[in-house]
A and B are shown apart, each in its own frame.
Chain A
């Protein structure tokens, strides 16, 4: 199991398109991946779950991956978040 805290940095937060990108990234890995914000934890492969976290800019999410490719999975999502989902502001 591998866990990491990540700050959301893009202007609009985890909106529909950003969430879609995150779900796509997560779906490439076999590990089970959870995203937690506050007391709410959701499946990283569920777009509705991600949207319902209401993670705006500046909020911190905790990624937890469990499985053979857990490190890669977390790293891939972290890269996406750090790259602000390739959005321009």
Chain B
């Protein structure tokens, strides 16, 4: 249903905020801000004759919560596997646990108080007991109790008062952060999209948004403070932006963009079988970055020539707090390789940052995780965990075209150590008589500036290089893109970045090995032109970006792009470069970059 268009009661004018699109699509609705804390709970004495009714109200909420959790478990189990869903089963068991319910009922009856108060009292008692535990991991289970108690309170209040489902217009959920339990409500009307302040690309929020096919944007700074409840909001999951209080004209434009986009996508998909070749016959390979096996279909549908980056972290996240087995790794990689044959899949070994999920797995906490134990360093420190994955990748390499890639390499020493480890595992497999591809190609991500600077040295000891621009830009420019004070300085066209990228491509060419790019930069049409000119031949990106970039490549001449890149390298600032590139594109390709001229 179309929400009525009214002016904001508090702020006026359209505002646009930037985050990261984690689930594509456009959603338009009224803002509903979810505060992390549950609404204040008051102790309300009730009459003796109302006690029975209050207990029933509690039991009803209990039942609703339990059914929601089992429902969620089923859904998550279908999209993400049994093991991942089992936490919701544990939560459902807690809700049904008589030792919890009995205490609440007892409190309602003996103190003659409202159910909300009784629930929060029992919840607090339980949490206090968990907090006294010595075992850190078991102590954290207090969070499960809190999560369950909070859902129960929400339902209690929903039954007593009102529920989102009573709202008749479309709504957008805005939150600082979302718990798995929050998403219980998310796949049903009237919710059409959501956005959060926090959350990484492999966070719960992004994973669940994707599996619900619901447009979502994460990482919007101060989101819950800059939007008011009931303001009209557009979530643009393609661009990673949210537009607040848009003008009626803008809403109309977005609405037509929704339909235009469907039309556009249909058109784009027509090019899926034709090669990404420039007008002067330079052959480019467009591949996909994926992290879920389910995304394979997308990759194939959008015409990817293989997987240039398979992020292997999700298996760890879905199994957390236990570690995946070698068989689980192996089955997954074999499935990928078999599904993609005759194309290649590049499996990047796990790059778990020092965030929450990693903490559960590796038990460390760091002040500065971006510069801490992550990437290859973490792999080498947790060698057993790493060996399990490497063995599985090697074994799967006997079943299809797999390449092995290591993240966050900063020097040769590290690379040599990890290559020694691979050799050791190969001899283990030999001794056990287990098959693997002895010629398995090994490559590295270039995402630390030091690695880019010594790319010539690294290139002589690996089979391929892949430039990870997201981290390379962040580390080179010392910019945290999600930090609102400096985020604007995140400039992919900064002369330093262009020089580094150019150096890496040259180093690969000299050593005679392929260089690809798997960062976001590769999926931007404007940047793609500069990269083409710098000599990049393999682009890897989100599957849905492939048809767009393919059209760009088919619309241009390499010779022209090379000239644009050469001249860009002589400019002095990111802004000068950007202006120059835009101007050149407008001049050389007046028909635009998405015209698929045959």
> B187 within 8 Å of A by Cβ?
no
In the complex, are the beta carbons of A88 and B135 less than 8 A apart? no
List, in ascending order, chain A residues with CB within 8 A of B137's CB: 12-13, 15, 56
CB-based contact A19/B322 at 8 Å: no
CB neighbours (8 Å) of A54 from chain B are 133-135, 138-139
* B134–A88 touching, CB < 8 Å: no
Task: Tell which of A13, A14, A47, A52 touches B130, judged by Cβ atoms closer than 8 Å.
Answer: A52
Please provide the 9 A-B residue pairs with the shortest distance between their CB atoms, ordered closest to farther: A20-B90, A56-B135, A16-B90, A47-B93, A87-B322, A88-B325, A54-B133, A46-B99, A48-B97
Instruction: List 17 contacting pairs A-B, 8 Å CB cutoff, sorted by A.
Output: A13-B138, A15-B321, A16-B87, A17-B90, A46-B97, A47-B90, A47-B93, A47-B97, A48-B94, A48-B145, A49-B99, A51-B138, A52-B129, A54-B133, A55-B138, A56-B138, A88-B322
Chain B residue numbers with a CB within 8 Å of A55 are 138
Interface residues on B, range: 20 to 34
- Output the least CB separation between A88 and chain B (Å): 4
Chain B contacts with A in 276-334, Cβ cutoff 8 A:
319, 321-325, 328
Q: Which residues of A contact B (CB under 8 A)?
A: 11-17, 19-20, 23, 42-43, 46-49, 51-52, 54-56, 87-89
Chain A, residue nearest B96 (CB): A47
Residue of B nearest to A52 (CB): B129
* Separation of A84 and B126 alpha carbons in the complex (Å): 26
In the complex, chain B residues whose CB is within 8 Å of the CB of A16: 87, 90-91, 141, 144
Given A13-B135, A15-B141, the answer on whether A51 and B130 have CB atoms closer than 8 Å is yes
Query: Which residues of B lie under 8 Å from residue A20 when comparing CB positions?
Result: 86, 89-90, 93
Q: How far is the CB of B331 from chain A (nearest CB, A)?
A: 13
The prevalent SS among residues of B at the interface is helix
CB neighbours (8 Å) of B144 from chain A are: 16, 51
Distance of A52 Cα from B591 Cα, bound (Å): 68
Residues from chain A with Cβ under 8 Å of B322 in the complex: 11-12, 87-89
> A48 CA to B134 CA in the complex, in Å?
17
Q: Do B97 and A19 touch (CB < 8 A)?
A: no
Cα distance A49–B321 when bound, in Å? 21
Do residues B323 and A23 form an inter-chain contact, with CB atoms below 8 A? no
CB distance from A43 to the nearest CB of B (A): 7
B100 within 8 A of A: yes
Chain A residues closer than 8 Å to B139, beta-carbon distance = 54
B99 contact set on A, CB distance < 8 A: 42-43, 46, 48-49
Check A17/B87 contact, CB under 8 A, given A47-B94, A48-B145.
yes
Q: Is B98 an interface residue (CB 8 A)?
A: yes
From A23, A54, A87, name the one whose CB has the most chain B CB atoms within 10 angstroms. A54
Please judge, given known A-B contacts A48-B126, A54-B133, whether A19 and B324 are in contact too, CB under 8 Å.
no
Residues of B contacting A17 in the complex (Cβ-Cβ under 8 angstroms): 86-87, 89-90
- Do A51 and B89 touch (CB < 8 A)? no
Bound CA span A55–B141, Å: 12
Residue with the highest number of chain B CB atoms closer than 10 Å, among A19, A23, A49, A88: A88
Q: Which residues of A contact B91 (CB under 8 A)?
A: 16
A43 to B135, CA, bound (A): 21
Find the B residue at minimum CB distance from A57: B135
Residues of A within 8 A of B87 (CB): 16-17
